[in-house]
Chain A
């Protein structure tokens, strides 16, 4: 159980450098009753997992970020927080990349563009409480 003491809502971290994607995902996720945190790059995403912050319960993570263009970030999140589900987003994928991401423990790899409501449903599915 990853319930927060201060706020009973689950926290979803959205990592993408595209403002409109972050905004749209925040809208649909908040509508589903989640708290949403945003990160614009890999550095910001990593800092969300260090002390002093509420720990995310799920991550929606873009493959390509200004300071990251591989699966390193996914690997480190999976390492630091193996129980936190991660859903990858990508504008361009190869079969090999999808395979590797799944092998590293990503729940899904979703191709851009996607239906924002469907993405919200995937997050709900991935979380321990429905």
Chain B
């Protein structure tokens, strides 16, 4: 019959097992089926603060906090049923009343006949490691939230260029979800030719250590999920984790800055152009007026219908064409100050259509107005001019036959007018230049129409955008504020 302390057989050779138990860093406690402590090793003494003499003979509930008593009864039920309670995390109380987080394994102890004598409980104090873990998790979380709250995009890649992680700003900037990017080559976020070249850059850096961007930073171009590109400032840091090189890219979106810079440059240029225009207009129109008047009078003295009289007519026509160019230039350089009022879009659109219908080239074109919009804050006359210009463009693009749809609507605090034609659309290389003054695809045209229209829209606090849907044709989208801007 095994005797206390514990269940170790008295004939155990050399007391080896006992020595092992005593030298363990884990608390090893033997208990009877009723929970009475029958053995208590040195580690248990250190851990719980009770000496073996204090503990043995008392109930194990000595070290079990009140709220864990039920759990302990369940463990005893398992043991009585002969089942082992695998390692799990629980809480025990020391003699001093301190609560310890322990990893506990309880196994039944059987005699040679298979009868259950009691249980052995092996407990490891994991309080400190739990605390460290929790602190680590908290700091990880804090770090993560710092990274995620960063305005700039942060992307970590490995030595092969694969994305390991990215922050919320990065997903926002590129329009991809994290899942779509993590594990993929970071070059998916670049347009050509950088996309194809990036792997080479990386390889070259890893083999030569040469730095072209790391620690320097530069302006590069990013590519969003929708294929659009945008300027960004990229700075790259290099680190080695577990012997492996990783790179952290911090990306600052420059779209707004570049847009403002461009806008400022354009405004400066337009201001100078406006100053020039008044001078040029006078210097050109004044002599034109004289030439036109004098030529007409001389022409009037020639026999009507004569060859010379015809030439005079041609001269006058050329002068008028020059004058039209001057007028377009002036309109662009010095747009009239808009007289903003609350206006209804529908009647303006209809009257613009009416004017365009009078153009003989528009005879084969159908016009349809759909949708409605709340009144917008705009200059009715300017808007009519813009629409006329856009409708004539559409008519010319469709070579005089097809349909133009004018869709009215609202989006946010804007009223919208979309002029949708069924023409051939606009080639991408042409698209970029369309708003450049004097750029034209027409054999006769000053190339000022669209840029002037856009200036007129901007003067009314509105905007003008060109869309080229895959379905073909061209859509010009005008937006105007619903309420007058302060």
Residue of B nearest to A114 (CB): B289
Contact between chains at B289 and A18 (CB < 8 Å): yes
A126 contacts chain B at the CB level, 8 A cutoff = no
Nearest chain B CB to A93 CB, angstrom units? 10
Q: Which residues of B contact A117 (CB under 8 A)?
A: 296
A27 contacts chain B at the CB level, 8 A cutoff = yes
B424 contacts chain A at the CB level, 8 A cutoff = no
Contact between chains at B293 and A64 (CB < 8 Å): no
Q: Which residues of B contact A91 (CB under 8 A)?
A: 281-282, 284-286, 289
Contact between chains at A18 and B282 (CB < 8 Å): no
Kindly count the residue-residue contacts between A and B in the assembled complex, taking CB atoms under 8 Å apart.
Answer: 68
Residue of B nearest to A96 (CB): B337
Residue of B nearest to A26 (CB): B297
B287 contacts chain A at the CB level, 8 A cutoff = yes
Contact between chains at B285 and A113 (CB < 8 Å): yes
Contact between chains at A116 and B293 (CB < 8 Å): yes
Contact between chains at B288 and A113 (CB < 8 Å): yes
Nearest chain A CB to B309 CB, angstrom units? 16
A25 contacts chain B at the CB level, 8 A cutoff = yes
Most chain B CB within 10 A, of A23, A64, A91, A115, is at A91
Residue of A nearest to B319 (CB): A113
Q: Which residues of A contact B282 (CB under 8 A)?
A: 64, 91-92
A21 contacts chain B at the CB level, 8 A cutoff = yes
Chain A 11-54 near chain B by CB (<8 Å), digits 1 or 0: 00000011111011101100000000000000000000000000
A79 contacts chain B at the CB level, 8 A cutoff = no
Q: Which residues of A contact B289 (CB under 8 A)?
A: 18, 20-21, 89, 91, 112-114
Contact between chains at A112 and B296 (CB < 8 Å): no
Measured CA separation A25–B294 after assembly (Å)? 9
Q: A24-B290, A95-B336 are in contact. Are A112 and B297 (CB under 8 A)?
A: no
Q: Which residues of B contact A24 (CB under 8 A)?
A: 290, 293-294, 296-297
Q: A95-B336, A113-B292, A113-B323 are in contact. Are A18 and B286 (CB under 8 A)?
A: yes
Contact between chains at B281 and A20 (CB < 8 Å): no
Q: Which residues of A contact B292 (CB under 8 A)?
A: 113, 116
Measured CA separation A94–B277 after assembly (Å)? 13
Measured CA separation A61–B414 after assembly (Å)? 46
B291 contacts chain A at the CB level, 8 A cutoff = yes
Instruction: Tell me the B257-298 residues at the A interface (CB within 8 Å).
Output: 277-278, 281-282, 284-294, 296-297
Measured CA separation A64–B285 after assembly (Å)? 12
Nearest chain B CB to A81 CB, angstrom units? 26
Most chain B CB within 10 A, of A64, A92, A115, is at A92
B251 contacts chain A at the CB level, 8 A cutoff = no
Contact between chains at A20 and B285 (CB < 8 Å): no
Contact between chains at A92 and B323 (CB < 8 Å): no
Interface residues of B (CB under 8 A from A): 277-278, 281-282, 284-294, 296-297, 319-320, 323, 330, 334, 336-337
Interface residues of A (CB under 8 A from B): 17-21, 23-25, 27-28, 62, 64, 89, 91-92, 94-95, 112-117
Q: What are 19 A-to-B residue pairs whose CB atoms are below 8 Å?
A: A20-B289, A23-B290, A23-B294, A23-B297, A24-B290, A24-B296, A62-B286, A91-B282, A92-B277, A92-B278, A92-B281, A94-B334, A112-B285, A113-B323, A114-B289, A115-B296, A116-B292, A116-B293, A116-B296
